[in-house]
C-alpha cells in the first residue's frame, strides 16, 4: 500500500487528494480538498494568467504542501489543464509549482485528462452497466470519454477534450445578472457548436450509462436534492432523470447571483460561473439522452483526482 497525493489545477479550482492506493484501487481517502483560485480568469481574453490568479494559486498550493508533509505522502503528481495550456506566461506558473513541490506540474493533453477522469469516475460502478460515457465540465474545457470497466481495469474506447467550460462560456457570453434570454440562447449555441467536435469523436450512442463528474455536476446534484450544505456522501452516485436535470439547470441558469449564492451546496467560487456550466450540461443532455440508452445522469464524486492517484501505481 502506498500513500500518494494527486493535485489537479484547472481553470477554476485547484484540488488535492491524499489517499492510500493498492491493487489498482484507491483504498482510503485521507484528505480531499478543493479551493477556487480562478487560475484561468481572463486567459480567454488576454492570453495570459494574471498576477492575482497566480498569487491565489500559490497560496493554495503552499497550504497543500503543508498537508502533504503532515500526511507523510510518498509520491505526488500535479497536473495542470486548460488555463496553462493556453497561457503565454505559463512558464511563471511552472516555476512557482517547481519551487513549492520540487518538481513542476505536468501539462497534460486533453486526451490524457479525459483518460484520467474516466479511470477515476468508474471505480464504484457495476461493470455490467457499461459502456460508460463520462463527462467532465471544467472551467475551460469539457471532456467526453467512452469506455468500459471490468472491475479492475478501465478501457477507454474514445475520448475528446473540447474548448468550452463554465468560466470560458461565462466570460464569453453571459455578462448580465441574471443573463438575458438572448445571452442564454447565444451561450447555448456556442456550447452546442464546440461540443459537436466531441460528439463527432466519441460515439455516445454506444453508452448505456452517463456519468458526470466535477464541480458543475456535483453542484447540480446537490441543488436538486436541496441539501442544506455540501455532503459528498449524499451526492456520490446520485442520479437525475432528464426532467429533474432540466428543471435544476433552468433554475441555475435563470437565477440571479443572490439566489445562486443562497443554494446550500454552492461554493462561493462557483456562484458566478455555475450558470455557464449548467448551459453546457444542458447541451450534453440534449445529445446523450437522444442518442444513447442512458435514461438518467449518474453524478460521481470520484474523478480525475482518483485517476491521478492511481497513475502513481504505474
Specify the higher pLDDT residue, 283 or 32.
Answer: 283
Residues 266 and 185 both lie in one domain:
yes
Residues 63 and 167 both lie in one domain:
no
Q: CA 238, CA 243: separation in Å to the nearest integer? A: 15
Whether residue 144 lies inside any domain: the answer is yes
- Tell me what the pLDDT averaged over the chain comes to: 92
Burial pattern 45-55, b for ≥16 Cβ within 10 A else e, equals eeebbbeebbe
- Predicted local distance difference test score (pLDDT) of residue 314: 60
CATH number at residue 32: 3.30.420.40
Q: CA 67, CA 219: separation in Å to the nearest integer? A: 26
Q: CA 114, CA 160: separation in Å to the nearest integer? A: 7
- Predicted local distance difference test score (pLDDT) of residue 222: 97
Residues 167 and 19 both lie in one domain:
no
Whether residue 34 lies inside any domain: the answer is yes
Q: What percent of the chain has pLDDT over 70?
A: 99
Residues 142 and 91 both lie in one domain:
no
How many independent structural domains does the chain possess? 2
Domain with 74 in it: 2-107
Whether residue 115 lies inside any domain: the answer is no
- What is the band of 30 on the pLDDT scale with cuts at 50, 70, 90? very high
Does the bond joining 178 to the residue before it have cis omega, within 30 degrees of 0?
yes
The pTM of this model reads 0.83
pLDDT for residue 295 is more than 70: yes
pLDDT digits (tens, 9 = 90+) for 176-193: 999 999 999 999 999 999
Query: Starting at the edge strand that comes first in sequence, how are the strands of the sheet with 154-162 ordered?
Result: 154-162, 142-149, 132-137, 209-213, 297-300, 238-240
Whether residue 31 lies inside any domain: the answer is yes
Residue with cell 468500459: 148
What is the rounded average pLDDT of the residues 286-293? Answer: 97
Show which of 56, 75, 107 is a domain's final residue.
Answer: 107
Show which of 107, 141, 159 is a domain's final residue.
Answer: 107
Residues 184 and 270 both lie in one domain:
yes
CATH number at residue 213: 3.30.420.150
Residues 190 and 291 both lie in one domain:
yes
Whether residue 306 lies inside any domain: the answer is no
pLDDT digits (tens, 9 = 90+) for 63-90: 999 999 999 999 999 998 766 777 889 8
Whether residue 10 lies inside any domain: the answer is yes
Show which of 107, 142, 167 is a domain's final residue.
Answer: 107
pLDDT digits (tens, 9 = 90+) for 118-155: 988 998 899 999 999 999 998 888 999 999 998 878 88
What would the grid cell of residue 171 be?
466570460
Burial of 285 (0-12, 13-18, 19+ CB in 10 A): buried
Amino acid at each position: 500500500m502506498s500513500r500518494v497525493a494527486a493535485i489537479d489545477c484547472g481553470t477554476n479550482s485547484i484540488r488535492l487528494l491524499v489517499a492510500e492506493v493498492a491493487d489498482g484501487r484507491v483504498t482510503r481517502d485521507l484528505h480531499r480538498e478543493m479551493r477556487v483560485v480562478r487560475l484561468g480568469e481572463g486567459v480567454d481574453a488576454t492570453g495570459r494568467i494574471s498576477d492575482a490568479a497566480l498569487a491565489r494559486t500559490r497560496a493554495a498550493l503552499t497550504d497543500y504542501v503543508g498537508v502533504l508533509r503532515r500526511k507523510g505522502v510518498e509520491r505526488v503528481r500535479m497536473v495542470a489543464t486548460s488555463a496553462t495550456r493556453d497561457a503565454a506566461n505559463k512558464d511563471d506558473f511552472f516555476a512557482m509549482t517547481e519551487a513549492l513541490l520540487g518538481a513542476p506540474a505536468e501539462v497534460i493533453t486533453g486526451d490524457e485528462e479525459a483518460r484520467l477522469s474516466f479511470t477515476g469516475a468508474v471505480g464504484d460502478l457495476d461493470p455490467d452497466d457499461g459502456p460508460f460515457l463520462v463527462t467532465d465540465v471544467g472551467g475551460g474545457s469539457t471532456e467526453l470519454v467512452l469506455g468500459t470497466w471490468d472491475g479492475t481495469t478501465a478501457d477507454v474506447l474514445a475520448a475528446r477534450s473540447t474548448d468550452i467550460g463554465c468560466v470560458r462560456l461565462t466570460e464569453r457570453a453571459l455578462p448580465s445578472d441574471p443573463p438575458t434570454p438572448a445571452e442564454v440562447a447565444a451561450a447555448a449555441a456556442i456550447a452546442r457548436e464546440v461540443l459537436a467536435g466531441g460528439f463527432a469523436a466519441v460515439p455516445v450512442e454506444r453508452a448505456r450509462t452517463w456519468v458526470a463528474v466535477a464541480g458543475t455536476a456535483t453542484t447540480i446534484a446537490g441543488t436538486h436534492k436541496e441539501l442544506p450544505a455540501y455532503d459528498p456522501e449524499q451526492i456520490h452516485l446520485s442520479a437525475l432523470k432528464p426532467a429533474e436535470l432540466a428543471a435544476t439547470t433552468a433554475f441555475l441558469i435563470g437565477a440571479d447571483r443572490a439566489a445562486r449564492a443562497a443554494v446550500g451546496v454552492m461554493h462561493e467560487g462557483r456562484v458566478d460561473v455555475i450558470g455557464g456550466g449548467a448551459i453546457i450540461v444542458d447541451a450534453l443532455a440534449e445529445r446523450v439522452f437522444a442518442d444513447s440508452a442512458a435514461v438518467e445522469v449518474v453524478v460521481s464524486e470520484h474523478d480525475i483526482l482518483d485517476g491521478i492517484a492511481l497513475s502513481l501505481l504505474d
